[in-house]
Amino acid sequence: MSDHQTEEQQVEAIKAFWSDNGNAIIAGLVLGFAGFIGYGYYKDNKLQQEVNTSEAYQNVVELSAGDEKAYLAAGEKFITENGESSYSALTALALAKEAASHKDWAQVATYLTTAIEKADNPGMKAIATTRLARVQIELAQYDNALTTLASTLPASFKASVEEIKGDAYLKQDKVDLARNAYQAAIDSSEQASPALQMKLDDLAQHIVLTK
């Protein structure tokens, strides 16, 4: 009898629980199921967006072999419409290369600045940053170049950063700073390039001749 009474109490307790909480539980299950469906839709929709962006980027790349104005216009339009995509940084780098072929350094700087802003990959951001600093030297914006290089970049770019710093200092006739930067570039390189070593050697000879 006590066992039977216990079962009845358990049933009544369950009924009471469902009476008090049933609606909330059902609502939670419905929302959870809807969320699962929604997440699946989100993934499918996100994948489709990525495919569309990739195709649009490929269309821009194909234009690079044709009319330059159409290519630049398409590239700029792509960046505007796909600013959150990593493809926008790649496009900006490509447009910078095109502008550099005509030595339009001001436009190159604009594209590289866009690439830095859009890049979500540290390596890509560093490539755009070091290229921008070189362009700023071409534009005689030496202090701007040094400011650009003050950004935090991956350690693998230290040699390039120091070499470009040396170029900027040398343009400013800051010979000692240039020498220190070139030496730091060599020290940071597994194998210094002949061109870099030549810069340091030429600078050392210049210092001797001016004394």
Domain borders along the chain are 2-139, 154-211
Tokens of 175: 């010979």
What pLDDT sits at residue 179?
A: 92
Whether residue 68 contacts residue 80, with contact meaning beta carbons closer than 8 Å, is answered with no
What pLDDT sits at residue 2?
A: 44
Whether residue 161 contacts residue 147, with contact meaning beta carbons closer than 8 Å, is answered with no
- Give 2 or 40, the one with higher predicted confidence: 40
- Give 88 or 148, the one with higher predicted confidence: 148
Residue with tokens 């800051």: 174
Tokens of 53: 């962006």
Collapsed DSSP state (helix, strand, coil) of residue 166: helix
Give the best-scoring range by mean pLDDT among 3-12, 53-62, 148-157: 148-157
- The pTM (predicted TM-score) of the whole model is 0.70
Overall fold of domain 2-139 = 1.25.40
% of the chain residues with pLDDT over 90: 35
Residue 202 has pLDDT above 60, yes or no: yes
Q: What angle do CA 198, 204, 209 make, to 5 degrees?
A: 125
Collapsed DSSP state (helix, strand, coil) of residue 151: coil
